[in-house]
Amino acid sequence: MTKDLFIQAILKYLAGIVLVALLLFLPAGTLAWPRGWLFMGVLFVSMLAAGVVMMLKSPDLLRRRLNAREKEMEQRQNIALSGGMFVLGFALAGLDYRFQWLQLPGWASGCAAALFLMSYAMFGEVLRENEYLSRTVEVQAGQRVIDTGLYGLVRHPMYAATLVLFLMMPLVLGSVIALIPFLAYPAIIVRRIGNEEQVLERELNGYTDYRQRVKYRLIPYIW
């Protein structure tokens, strides 16, 4: 761990808090939104815990994830689509709370928060299992195929975790309307996986054999 890495991680973390808070609470028109704060808590406490573990145990992984720059044009398009999904979804959640369009009961948000935390724990396990995990589609020097643990069940366990994570976000916020933009995420992930597997088959030794051994991409026995 270096001082520069620590400062970079803290600044990006704080910037994320400010950005999400603005996207949520400005449309809501108030800071007195309990489920908005519930979401901020489960998201950023989990993110902080994951960041601390990476900083202490695998600073190189943290550095790669902080400095990732997507090279594939199709993946840059996927990132742009995901960004639009988040902006629209969070804004709709805030507006839904302000105007009380279609709010979920409190127990539903609590269940969604529990599923969110379980999925984030799965995401953390994926980070532990795969030291090469990057935010971009790339093959690193010396990279090998990981085929144990969650990678023995599906080829893309990180995306399986984020699928649940992202679909739970509007539900934690208590908004059915905000769920609508997030329903685009499965299609974005399918598109991303298709391009990613082309890159991995072309550049990562052993990936073709791994693909034949582990049949399912995202959800066991389904796809």
Residue 141 is predicted with a pLDDT of 65
Is the separation of the CB atoms in 94 and 23 below 8 Å? yes
222 belongs to a structural domain: no
User: Is 167 part of a structural domain of the chain?
Assistant: yes
pLDDT at 71: 66
Residues counted in the chain: 223
Residue 7 pLDDT: 86
Alpha carbon distance 37, 39 (integer Å):
5
Domain count, the chain: 1
User: How far is Cα 131 from Cα 61, in angstroms, rounded to an integer?
Assistant: 6
Per DSSP, 103 falls in state B
pLDDT value of position 20: 97
Whole-number pLDDT of residue 114? 97
* Domain presence at residue 90: yes
* pLDDT of amino acid 136: 63
CATH, residue 60 = 1.20.120.1630
Shortest CA distance to 136 belongs to which of 67, 70, 82?
A: 70
- In this prediction, residue 189 carries a pLDDT of 92
* Residue 129 in tokens: 């299992």
Assigned domain for 223 exists: no
What pLDDT, on the 0 to 100 scale, is given for residue 113?
97
Q: Please give the full DSSP string across 30-95, using - where no structure is assigned.
A: -S--HHHHHHHHHHHHHHHHHHHHHHHH-HHHHHHHHS-----HHHHHHHHHHHHHHHHHHHHHHH
- Res 53: pLDDT: 81
Q: Domain for residue 145, yes or no?
A: yes
Q: Is residue 220, in this structure, part of any structural domain at all?
A: no
In a domain, 219, yes or no: no
Assess if residue 138 is contained within a domain: yes
Tell me if 178 sits within 8 A of 61, measured CB to CB: no
In this structure, what token pair is assigned to residue 148?
A: 């144990």
Burial (CB < 10 A; 0-12, 13-18, 19+), residue 123, is: buried
pLDDT tens series, the chain, 223 aa = 577 887 888 899 999 999 999 999 999 999 999 999 999 999 999 999 888 888 877 777 777 776 666 666 777 788 888 999 999 999 999 999 999 999 999 999 999 999 999 999 998 898 888 877 766 666 666 778 888 899 999 999 999 999 999 999 999 999 999 999 999 999 999 988 988 888 888 888 888 899 999 999 999 889 8
- The boundaries of the domain holding residue 157 are 3-213
Contact (Cβ atoms closer than 8 angstroms) between residue 182 and residue 167: yes
